[in-house]
């Protein structure tokens, strides 16, 4: 027993030393924490604050894109993703299940609300492997709040929704390559964010993207707010709103016309631009192929905005600017004669031929040469009248060798081929040299408005929505003055005869009733791989660059259609006219630009009939040759559209509103202009389909009217026999079998 005692004492001593060391380590650690306030390199006060402080992110809204009138083009909107919970572990009360208990019934009910077959939904709801929940792919994403509510009303067990923010494009296919689209992408921090992927959504992404805010609060261990806890709110900074120069109505006119031509003629591609020559504002821009910014359908066909990212030989629309240069230099002699048909720039160069196979029209004046789009006339003007060096200077003055600087991404420059005499001559009629459609629009503003060339732009202003402060505002910018006001007027007068004269290549195609149109047709050859040009009746880029009213243009419209599917009896200008004519006419009417057919205009002002009895008002208007339309069953007129300062055409409708109950008239046969009068006086919201005259309306005639109702009208062109029936025209640029190098 005594022998064991020393061993026990040694063991006790060792334990005492170990525990003593532990005590001193803990004591040192305790004192160190008290002194420094840190543990493990982290501040304990901050960690404690984190424990008792909650924080929520306040998401910033991406900026909204509007048209020039404040109509939404792209905006953030709440969307919902459909989710089905399959795990029975979520159910704690069998009378109130939280998982899908009847897959067959659930699949049948959901199939009525999402774009997925009932059998496919059932397959997802009965998938093996014991998943917790499943989703339904694209069919179950981006659901509207209305669809969400309708599904919730079914009270299907296990069906829940996840909320998200989605970019909403209410107009569908609408200047899609200009606007662009957004998608989810990872940023540098690895977070999934909304990112602009094309067009303005991409180029303005930084301005459109806001900065998230936060809401911090003190809470207990269980996350409940403390009664006297401190709250800190850091507001979100929403993205800037962008107002475009695009006009929704004009863009819709454009999209409708483009879609109809695309369906009928199936061209390789099409481009169309509508611009205000006095400001440089782009009011409409469209192309085919295009895509839907929400579904992305069609985006694989082309990623480029063809109006600014593609350059090509313009064809005879280039003759506008050659003519302008000759007039400005004082060398254009409209009545001077020349021999049309063929022309050799040099003894060794290929022959320049007129577009009718080089036959020409005998000895004609230079004015007739412009009307007939004679290549020979232009080649002689460049070489013999202007001179190569002077003409080259005008190409620079009109901006064909530099970017326009339009506020859209990826603008490309044209390429002026100007080395040999033949190249210099053919550039005058748009062959060999390549330019972009937007360069043609910019140059045309000088012809349309007093010789002053305007920089094109699509952004009107950028506004901070939180404080209404204007971040950026675009002003009209004159980029040059290549010609004088008098020259511009003379060019327009001559171009008007291209449309109105029987000799003109635009005759009976681009005439618009009530308005004088000045413009120039174009038929450009398409280069092929290995040199030379494509041949065949439809292998051209058919185009028209026109402005109206010719005396003082308010609009410029450029249309180009490449390789439409047409037979030998159809002129390539036909699909171009089917875009240009309705777009120009509807846009002029929409902008309340008075027709120049003054024979039908009343000299006096429209009488003011407000306050009169309905019968007296009708009599007054009818005496002036106007057609009164009475809205309401009252006895007294309280409002009229148009007002008493608006010149009217004989037989035009004046809508008068009475003090009685309002009802919907029969709009059949009404023009869009008249429909808009009714919409204005009735405080309705208007959607249109097509162009022309009303053939169908969603609000039944005689039904009651309420402010803010939507009126949808289907418009179709008036049916009449074509003035061209039986007429056979040779298109500009028709294949020259003897010499394919030079045509119109």
* Residue 716 DSSP SS3: strand
Catalytic residue selected from 79, 176, 316, 340: 316
In a domain, 595, yes or no: no
Q: What is the pLDDT of residues 174-201, one digit of tens each?
A: 999 999 999 877 777 777 778 899 999 9
Q: Residue 255: which CATH number?
A: 3.40.710.10
Q: Is 457 in the same domain as 584?
A: yes
End-to-end CA distance of the chain: 127
Within 13 Å of residue 383, how many CA atoms lie on the same side as its CB?
19
Rounded to two decimals, the pTM is: 0.71
Task: Give me the domain span that covers residue 618.
Answer: 602-648+651-716
CATH number, domain at 658? 3.30.10.20
Report if residue 485 sits inside a domain.
yes
Q: Model confidence at 413, in pLDDT bands (50, 70, 90)?
A: very high
26 and 45 share one domain: yes
Identify the weakest region by mean pLDDT among 214-228, 298-312, 478-492, 528-542. Answer: 214-228
Q: What gap in Å lies between CA 700 and CA 680, rounded to an integer?
A: 18
Together in a domain, 532 and 631: no
- Neighbour tally for 43: CB within 10 Å: 12
Instruction: Please provide the DSSP assignment of 204-247 as one string.
Output: THHHH--B-EEEEEEB-TTSPBPTT--EEEE--BPPPEEEES--
What pLDDT score does 169 carry?
A: 92
Question: Which has more pLDDT, 362 or 90?
Answer: 362
Whether 597 shows a pLDDT value over 80: the answer reads: no
Domain boundary among 191, 222, 243: 243
Nearest-angstrom CA–CA distance, 132 and 84: 9
How many domains are contained in the chain?
A: 4
Q: 720 pLDDT band (50/70/90 cuts)?
A: very low
Residue 106 predicted with pLDDT over 70: yes
- Under 8 Å between Cβ of 329 and 214: no
Longest dimension (CA), the chain: 145
In a domain, 736, yes or no: no
CATH (domain of 138) = 3.30.70.2110
Whether residue 257 sits in one domain with residue 152: no
Of residues 744 and 520, more confidently modeled: 520
Domain assignment present for residue 168? The answer is yes
Sheet holding 693-697, edge to edge: 685-690, 710-716, 693-697
pLDDT in tens, 434-468: 999 999 999 999 999 999 999 999 999 999 998 99
Confidence of residue 743 (pLDDT cuts 50, 70, 90): very low
pLDDT attached to residue 731: 35
Q: Is the pLDDT of residue 112 over 60?
A: yes
User: What is the distance between the alpha carbons of residues 744 and 357, in angstroms, rounded to a whole number?
Assistant: 10
Residue with tokens 């390429």: 415
Residues 138, 170 within the same domain: yes
351 in any annotated domain:
yes
236/369 same-domain check: no
Q: Do 112 and 161 reside in the same domain of the chain?
A: yes
Q: What is the 3-state secondary structure (H, E, C) of 661-675?
A: CCECCCCCCCEHHHH
β-pairing, 555-562 vs 42-43, is unpaired
Say whether both 61 and 33 belong to one domain.
no
Same domain? For 101 and 217 the reply is yes
Residue 90 is assigned to a structural domain of this protein: yes
Whole-number pLDDT of residue 646: 53
Q: Which helix (H) or strand (E) holds 653?
A: strand 653-658
Contact 330, 306 (CB under 8 A): no
Same domain, 225 and 273: no
The percentage of residues in the chain with a pLDDT greater than 70, rounded to a whole number, is: 86
The average pLDDT across 657-685 equals 83
Distance (Å) of CA 83 to CA 76, 94, 132, 133, 138: 22, 20, 11, 7, 12
Please check whether residues 576 and 697 belong to one and the same domain: no
Residue 728 has pLDDT above 80, yes or no: no
- Is 316 a residue of the active site? yes
Q: Which residues, in sequence order, are bridge partners of residue 630?
A: 656
Beta strands in 685-735 (DSSP E): 685-690, 693-697, 710-716
> Running DSSP on this structure, what letter comes out for residue 695?
E
- The residue written with tokens 């969603």 in the block is 698
pLDDT score of 736 more than 90:
no
Residue 383 included in any domain: yes
Tokens (6 digits) for 665: 């008239």
Q: Cα–Cα distance between 412 and 309 in angstroms, integer? A: 5
Phi first, then psi, for residue 159 (nearest 5°) are -95, 115
Q: How far from the centroid of its chain's Cα atoms is residue 183's Cα?
A: 18
For residue 689, being part of any structural domain is answered with yes
Task: Assess whether 571 and 618 both reside in one domain.
Answer: no
């Amino acid at each position: 027993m005594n022998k064991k005692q020393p061993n026990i004492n040694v063991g006790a001593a060792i334990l005492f030393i170990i525990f003593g060391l532990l005590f001193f380590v803990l004591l040192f650690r305790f004192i160190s924490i008290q002194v420094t306030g840190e543990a493990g390199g982290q501040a304990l006060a901050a960690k404690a604050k984190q424990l008792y402080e909650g924080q929520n992110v306040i998401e910033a809204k991406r900026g909204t894109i509007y048209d020039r009138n404040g109509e939404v083009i792209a905006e953030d909107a709440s969307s919902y993703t459909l989710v089905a919970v399959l795990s029975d572990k979520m159910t704690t009360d069998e009378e109130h299940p939280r998982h899908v208990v009847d897959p067959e019934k659930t699949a049948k009910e959901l199939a009525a609300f999402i774009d997925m077959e009932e059998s496919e939904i059932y397959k997802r709801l009965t998938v093996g492997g014991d998943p917790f929940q499943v989703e339904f792919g694209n069919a179950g994403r981006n659901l509207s709040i209305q669809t969400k509510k309708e599904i919730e009303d079914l009270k299907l067990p296990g069906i829940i929704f996840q909320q998200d923010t989605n970019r909403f494009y209410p107009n569908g296919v609408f200047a899609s390559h200009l606007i662009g689209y957004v998608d989810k992408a990872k940023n540098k921090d690895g977070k999934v964010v909304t990112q602009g992927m094309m067009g303005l959504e991409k180029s303005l992404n930084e301005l459109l993207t806001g900065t998230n805010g936060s809401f911090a609060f003190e809470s207990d261990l269980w996350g409940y707010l403390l009664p006297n806890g401190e709250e800190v709110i850091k507001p979100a900074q929403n993205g800037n709103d962008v107002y475009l120069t695009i006009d929704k109505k004009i863009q819709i006119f454009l999209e409708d016309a483009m879609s109809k031509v695309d369906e009928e003629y199936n061209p390789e591609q099409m481009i169309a631009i509508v611009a205000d020559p006095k400001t440089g504002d782009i009011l409409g821009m469209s192309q085919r192929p295009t895509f839907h910014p929400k579904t992305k359908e069609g985006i694989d066909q082309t990623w480029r905005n063809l109006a600014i990212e593609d350059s090509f030989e313009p064809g005879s629309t280039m003759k506008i600017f050659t003519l302008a240069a000759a007039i400005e230099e004082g060398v254009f002699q409209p009545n001077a004669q020349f021999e049309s048909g063929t022309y050799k720039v040099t003894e060794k160069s290929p022959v320049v031929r007129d577009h009718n196979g080089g036959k020409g029209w005998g000895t004609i004046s230079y004015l007739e040469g412009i009307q007939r789009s004679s290549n020979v006339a232009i080649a002689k003007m460049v070489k013999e009248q202007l001179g190569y060096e002077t003409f080259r200077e005008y190409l620079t003055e009109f901006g064909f060798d530099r970017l326009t600087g339009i506020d859209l991404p990826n603008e490309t420059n044209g390429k002026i081929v100007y080395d040999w005499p033949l190249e210099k001559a053919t550039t005058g009629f748009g062959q060999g040299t390549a330019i972009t459609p937007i360069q043609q629009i910019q140059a045309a503003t000088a012809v349309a408005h007093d010789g002053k060339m305007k920089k094109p732009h699509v952004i009107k202003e950028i506004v901070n929505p939180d404080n209404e402060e204007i971040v950026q505002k675009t002003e009209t910018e004159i980029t040059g003055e290549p010609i004088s006001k008098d020259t511009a007027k003379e060019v327009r007068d001559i171009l008007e005869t291209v449309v109105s004269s029987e000799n003109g290549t635009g005759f009976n195609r681009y005439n618009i009733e009530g308005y004088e149109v000045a413009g120039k047709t174009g038929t450009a050859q398409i280069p092929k791989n290995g040199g030379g040009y494509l041949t065949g009746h439809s292998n051209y880029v058919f185009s028209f660059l026109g402005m109206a009213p010719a005396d003082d243009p308010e609009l410029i419209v450029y249309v180009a259609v490449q390789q439409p599917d047409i037979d030998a009896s159809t002129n390539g200008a036909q699909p171009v006219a089917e875009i240009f004519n309705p777009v120009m006419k509807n846009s002029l009417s929409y902008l309340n630009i008075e027709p120049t057919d003054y024979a039908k205009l009343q000299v006096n002002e429209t009488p003011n009939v407000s306050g009169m009895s309905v019968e007296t008002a009708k009599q007054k208007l009818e005496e002036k040759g106007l057609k009164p339309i009475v809205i309401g069953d009252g006895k007294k007129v309280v409002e009229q559209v148009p007002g008493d300062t608006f010149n009217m055409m004989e037989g035009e409708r004046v809508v008068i509103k009475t003090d009685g109950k309002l009802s919907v008239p029969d709009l059949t046969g009404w023009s869009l202009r008249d429909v808009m009068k009714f919409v204005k006086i009735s405080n309705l919201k208007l959607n249109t389909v097509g162009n022309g005259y009303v053939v169908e309306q969603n609000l039944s005639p005689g039904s009651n009217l309420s402010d803010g109702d939507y009126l949808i009208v289907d418009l179709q062109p008036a049916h009449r026999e074509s003035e061209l029936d039986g007429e056979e025209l040779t298109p500009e640029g028709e294949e020259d079998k003897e010499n394919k190098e030079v045509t119109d």
